[in-house]
Structure 1
Amino acid sequence: MGITELRMMSVRVADILKLPTLKLAHILVGSRGLGREVEYVDVLESPDIDVIIKPRVLYLTSGFVFRDNERLQRLLLSRLQDTGAAGLIVEQGRYLTPLPQHMMETADRLRFPIIELPHGAVFADVISESLHAIFMQQGDALRKSQEIQKRLTEVAVGGGSLRQIAQTLANLVRNTVIVADRAFSLLSFAFWEKEHKTAKRKAYVGTTLDQYLYNLEKTGFINRIRQTKKASRVEVLFSKQGEQAWVVVPIIINGDILGYIAVLEDYHRLHEADWAALEQAATITAIAVYKEMTESEVLRRQRNDFLLQVLEGRLTAEDLILEQAKHLHVTLEGKWAVWQMEFTNLEAYCRDHFPEGSQAEGDVTAKVMRMIATHLADKQRDLLIVSKEKRLTILCPAKDWLAKDEVMQRVAEVRQEITHFSPELTSAIGISRLCDGHQKLAQAYREARETLAIGRKLDAAREIYSFADLGVYQILMKFKDHPDMKEYYQSILGKLDQLDAATRGDLLKTLEAYFSANANIYKAAQNLYLHRNSMKYRLERIKEMLGVDLDEPEIRFNVQLALKMRHLL
């Protein structure tokens, strides 16, 4: 993958060598460096090279000042390279005949071009022709930039949408243009509208463009732009799409990246004048992007509040639900699985990524949750995502009632997207049963929340908990707030709660291990790393305190049931 930082309005050394005065010039060494940019041409005839040498300047020299000074010759090449000079044109025959071998070898290693001035050519002519070419290039780029700025400004001032701005830019640069948000997710796109109707347009669709952006970000190229905040060009080979060349320009407001303009060079390679125009386009597009993102944020909040009201059972009127769903472009019909996702290390993540004092803790948490929700909504567009405090609730559509494998596949995809957002985040998910239509969403929401809560109590090491795997807890959850359930528990195990916390904990673990081992004392002892006599002693103490005989099947059932109830009380 090759990445090039864009510089506006540049002429290369190779372009200078095409000028009439230098057509017969001989490249002595460094032909691999002819792509270096030239912004000025000057004469180098002073030994004070630390002061004179400037970046992107092509120097002409007779070699007088360093003709017999090997130390200065070596220092000169090092300084030219370190400063970023464009190259060196030498007049051989007067003071340099031939160019010293060590200079040739060093220049070749550094890919620094050294060119022999043609016989009869004079410095003044080279400088005059070169500067004329540079200024003409700058003028062409400026005119192109002004044209694009004018056209885009007309569209923006006329109230044009982001799509219209993208279309105008696509026609001006004659390539496919994509506008992405700060997460590098698709906001808008446009194809070049060719003048000739016979020309066949390349076939892309929205999902394909989404995949292009996703693949491009995976290369690390976009992270580089986030760090430098500068436009860049990249050529990258994808297995399915083949080789693609992209030019990406950040859209910046008040020093922060708001989004990106990405140009896919599917018809034409962009020239320097186009690059300058893209910088102008980014400034104008920023207004439209900000407007669209603001409108999207308002819609996101309205959808979030609406779905929360439905899930929490605060909105139950059928006609009102359908009316608001239609207004917010939300479809609630069909079968759904509701997931409750909790980020188990969210506080640590926020501390690590947002310095103390930079924002209030609640603001940081809300910002991160909003970023995660937006990322998932962009990547998994058929999911409905609701954010509240430190959790996400996800409504996943399902095709049929026997869709457990389908739902688990979607869970895996969402977890992969979370990893893509940040590998550091860890999460746990509770999954409800499938429900049909919005009338059952509130019940499914409770199931997902309670499944996650119970699952975390029973086995905190797991990451995915399904209501279908809860067994008897599916029934017990319905009665967890009923006073009879607490009374039943107290009648069976209540006496253990009168002990100190350490003793109570040991005896409860003993009972759990005993039942998990199917009443096998020796196996239970092994699982608790106890001697079997210690296990027997604990069980006898429990029997004595509770006044029960654990050898009786009915009593064992009652104690086991009470233990399960304890997790819900």
Structure 2
Amino acid sequence: MSAPELEIPHQLGRGLLSTMRSLLVLGQLMTESTGERQILDLAMTAVPSLARCRVVGIEQAGGATRSTATVGLGEQLTGVGAMGGAVTLQDVVWAWAYPLGGPLRDYGFLVVAADAEPNSEEQFLLRALAQQTGSALANRQLHAQELATADELATVNERLRGTVEALQRSMEIHARLTAVAVSDEGRDGIARAVHELTGLPVAIEDRYGNLRAWAGPNQPDPYPKDPAPRREALLRRAQAAGRPIREGGTLVALAHPQGDVLGVICLVDPGGSAGEHEVMALEHGATILAMELARVRSLAESELRIRRDLVDELLTGTDEESALARATALGYDLQRPHRVVVVEGHGRSKDNDALFQAVRHAAREEPAGTLLVARGAQVVLLADHEADWESLRQAVIRDLGGGTARITVGEQCSAVADFPRSYRQARLAMHLLQTAEWDDRAVRFDDLGVYRLLIGNESLDEVERFVERWIGPLLAYDTQRSADLVRTLTHYLDRGGNYEATAAALIVHRNTLKYRLQRIRQITGHDLSDPETCFNLQLATRAWQTLTALRTTPTGPVGGPAPSGRTD
């Protein structure tokens, strides 16, 4: 049986968040319970409401058992270790032992079974229940110690007072952090609460060691960050320990619902003064932090998915009412003028995700827009500002750490129905950049000049006849001989007949260029020194580039009305 991977739930909706809050209330009830048996009864009763599972039993430390059936699991439970794990039961498809880990020690395992492996949300809730049960057993143990010493008040009055204070402290910690979780105070609130409970500075970091929240005095500036290998070694050590560990002058606890480290909470304690209650506060803080980070991640992923779906629908064609409803849900004004922007490029590595992140960051900084989506090797941005497009291109290159980038921009969209047209214009302009072998640049469809005039022609028959009339023999020659005369003529005319510039662009010797131009004169019979002839030849080469780009761009109107349905 493979160990189940407990992933963060894909969406933390209201239902799941409500269940988590109910778990915290259940933990409070356990803490206030009159005995260990009541705590275990509450835990066993709660399992079916959290997951499609049944309780096999609770195997406690020292061999005590509270089960629905007599089971011999001692040997297997010894093998699974402090993190818990899979166990094998007869006629059971899936069984798992969740550790009842308290702040100070382990109290055994909650063993559950199911006819099918529970989903990640259910496994997350079961682990949280086990941790709450362990904490309650710890509190119950402290309370039992208090009662046991009550008969010896004459001789152990000081010890009893300390036990009472410890119990009160434990309750205070639990109540304070429960209040933080219910009130949605976020990372800053969690850091403040743990600082108030311990009196020590508290840092909350992301997985990679970047500071996300601080509470207390003497915040380092800049905040120290370990090299990646050392950081990963620390995380592995903390995961293996299953409880807070000391790293130099800091106590470190992980916010990780089974394996996936979402963050780290640190208690800055260079003097080593932290005791049991400080460790307890840190552990409870890590649990609340895990819930908070899981919620934030789910919300961010949901918003990103909604944004991506909205962009996809706008580019392929959607009804205005649906698009405006999605945009309103995101708090986005879709009724501002927009342009569709297509970006291609790469840094040192040809990583499409790196390009997406670079465009995303550059578009926010420029600013240009916030709605974008990756499509193959391209990134498509819906720009709601008339940005300096060349500055945006340079910003993308900087974010890539060097490399190349080219940007093409469609015409302005004044309505939802205009987006597919603007998108196709931007893609067509990108194909023209490639076909015409232009340098990397930012190009607006509005500025394409004669290319735009050719594209807007309702019938391309006349364009094709014009191309055939002026450079048809060259096209045929290139096809038959695998020659490069049309490309040579295009570069020559685009550079105003400058031999040196043309030879450099083609990467050929000047004599090779002269030979090719002579062949062009012979094949076409045209005089390349005549201005009117050169004008017509240049127009023909640009028309040929336009036709080539049109043949490699998805069909659909470029200058006319946008289609009512999807085009892809």
Trace 1:154-303 onto structure 2 (pairs within 5 A): 154=178, 160=182, 162-163=184-185, 166-174=188-196, 221=226, 223=228, 226-230=231-235, 251-259=255-263, 272=274, 277-278=281-282, 280-303=284-307
Render the CA deviation track for 1:31-78: whole Å, top value 9, x for unaligned.
xxxxxxxxxxxxxxxxxxxxxxxxxxxxxxxxxxxxxxxxxxxxxxxx
Q: Distance in 2 between matches of 1:172 and 1:450?
A: 57
* 1:495 corresponding residue in structure 2: 473
Report the CA distance shift for 1:146/1:566 in structure 2 as closer, same or farther (over 3 A): farther
Render the CA deviation track for 1:374-393: whole Å, top value 9, x for unaligned.
77799889522223233221
User: What one-letter code is carried by the residue in structure 1 that aligns with 2:476?
Assistant: Q
Trace 1:33-52 onto structure 2 (pairs within 5 A): none
Report the CA distance shift for 1:549/1:375 in structure 2 as closer, same or farther (over 3 A): closer
Q: CA deviation at 1:560?
A: 0.8
User: What one-letter code is carried by the residue in structure 2 that aligns with 1:173?
Assistant: H
User: What one-letter code is carried by the residue in structure 2 that aligns with 1:338?
Assistant: V
Tell whether the 8 Å contact from 1:145 to 1:277 is kept in structure 2 after alignment: no
* 2:39 corresponding residue in structure 1: none
* 1:323 corresponding residue in structure 2: 325
**SS across alignment from 1:290:** helix
Q: Distance in 2 between matches of 1:145 and 1:229?
A: 30
Tell whether the 8 Å contact from 1:373 to 1:387 is kept in structure 2 after alignment: no
* 2:379 corresponding residue in structure 1: 392
Q: CA deviation at 1:507?
A: 1.3
Q: Distance in 2 between matches of 1:502 and 1:221?
A: 63
**SS across alignment from 2:409:** strand
Q: Distance in 2 between matches of 1:263 and 1:478?
A: 67
Trace 1:323-402 onto structure 2 (pairs within 5 A): 323-344=325-346, 349=350, 383-398=370-385
Q: Distance in 1 between matches of 2:355 and 2:508?
A: 45
* 2:422 corresponding residue in structure 1: 444
Report the CA distance shift for 1:513/1:413 in structure 2 as closer, same or farther (over 3 A): closer
Q: Distance in 2 between matches of 1:435 and 1:246?
A: 55
Render the CA deviation track for 1:491-522: whole Å, top value 9, x for unaligned.
33232232355955431243124313423557
Report the CA distance shift for 1:565/1:146 in structure 2 as closer, same or farther (over 3 A): farther
Q: Distance in 2 between matches of 1:369 and 1:148?
A: 49
Report the CA distance shift for 1:216/1:525 in structure 2 as closer, same or farther (over 3 A): same
Report the CA distance shift for 1:380/1:293 in structure 2 as closer, same or farther (over 3 A): farther
Q: CA deviation at 1:315?
A: 1.0
Counterpart among 431, 447, 450 of residue 453 in structure 1: 431
Trace 1:468-479 onto structure 2 (pairs within 5 A): 470-479=448-457
**SS across alignment from 1:548:** coil
When the two chains are superposed, the root-mean-square deviation of aligned CA atoms in Å is 5.2
Tell whether the 8 Å contact from 1:225 to 1:231 is kept in structure 2 after alignment: no
Report the CA distance shift for 1:304/1:262 in structure 2 as closer, same or farther (over 3 A): farther
Counterpart among 305, 311, 316 of residue 309 in structure 2: 305
Tell whether the 8 Å contact from 1:340 to 1:392 is kept in structure 2 after alignment: yes
Q: Distance in 2 between matches of 1:437 and 1:170?
A: 48
Report the CA distance shift for 1:460/1:294 in structure 2 as closer, same or farther (over 3 A): farther
Tell whether the 8 Å contact from 2:343 to 2:380 is kept in structure 1 after alignment: yes
Aligned pair count? 366
Q: Distance in 1 between matches of 2:253 and 2:341?
A: 38
1:549 matches 2:553: no
Q: CA deviation at 1:532?
A: 6.1
**SS across alignment from 1:560:** helix
Tell whether the 8 Å contact from 1:229 to 1:257 is kept in structure 2 after alignment: no
Tell whether the 8 Å contact from 1:250 to 1:259 is kept in structure 2 after alignment: yes
Render the CA deviation track for 1:271-326: whole Å, top value 9, x for unaligned.
746677445533442233223322332232122111221123x1143x33322221
Q: Distance in 2 between matches of 1:306 and 1:509?
A: 41
Q: CA deviation at 1:143?
A: 8.5
User: What one-letter code is carried by the residue in structure 1 that aligns with 2:318?
Assistant: L
Render the CA deviation track for 1:109-147: whole Å, top value 9, x for unaligned.
xxxxxxxxxxxxxxxxxxxxxxxxxxxxxx9xx989966
* 2:541 corresponding residue in structure 1: 563
Report the CA distance shift for 1:438/1:148 in structure 2 as closer, same or farther (over 3 A): farther
Report the CA distance shift for 1:480/1:289 in structure 2 as closer, same or farther (over 3 A): farther
Q: Distance in 1 between matches of 2:267 and 2:454?
A: 58
User: What one-letter code is carried by the residue in structure 2 that aligns with 1:302?
Assistant: I
Q: List gaps (5 residues or longer) in structure 2.
A: 1-162, 238-248, 549-568
Render the CA deviation track for 1:182-211: whole Å, top value 9, x for unaligned.
68899x97989xxxxxxxx9xxxxxxxxxx
User: What one-letter code is carried by the residue in structure 2 that aligns with 1:384?
Assistant: L
* 1:132 corresponding residue in structure 2: none
TM-score (norm 2): 0.50
**SS across alignment from 2:261:** strand
Tell whether the 8 Å contact from 1:476 to 1:565 is kept in structure 2 after alignment: yes
User: What one-letter code is carried by the residue in structure 2 that aligns with 1:330?
Assistant: Y
Tell whether the 8 Å contact from 2:203 to 2:265 is kept in structure 1 after alignment: yes
Report the CA distance shift for 1:451/1:146 in structure 2 as closer, same or farther (over 3 A): farther
User: What one-letter code is carried by the residue in structure 2 that aligns with 1:315?
Assistant: T
Report the CA distance shift for 1:279/1:344 in structure 2 as closer, same or farther (over 3 A): same
Counterpart among 463, 472, 475 of residue 485 in structure 1: 463
Counterpart among 485, 488, 505 of residue 510 in structure 1: 488
Q: Distance in 1 between matches of 2:501 and 2:487?
A: 14
**SS across alignment from 1:334:** coil
Tell whether the 8 Å contact from 2:253 to 2:264 is kept in structure 1 after alignment: yes
User: What one-letter code is carried by the residue in structure 1 that aligns with 2:308?
Assistant: N
**SS across alignment from 2:333:** coil
Q: CA deviation at 1:424?
A: 7.3
Q: Distance in 2 between matches of 1:380 and 1:222?
A: 31
- Range that drifts further, 319-328 or 268-277: 268-277
Tell whether the 8 Å contact from 1:249 to 1:260 is kept in structure 2 after alignment: yes
Report the CA distance shift for 1:379/1:491 in structure 2 as closer, same or farther (over 3 A): same
Percent identity over the alignment? Answer: 22
Render the CA deviation track for 1:442-469: whole Å, top value 9, x for unaligned.
3433333233332234346525444465
Q: Distance in 2 between matches of 1:376 and 1:490?
A: 44
* 2:130 corresponding residue in structure 1: none
Q: Distance in 1 between matches of 2:364 and 2:264?
A: 15
* 1:235 corresponding residue in structure 2: none
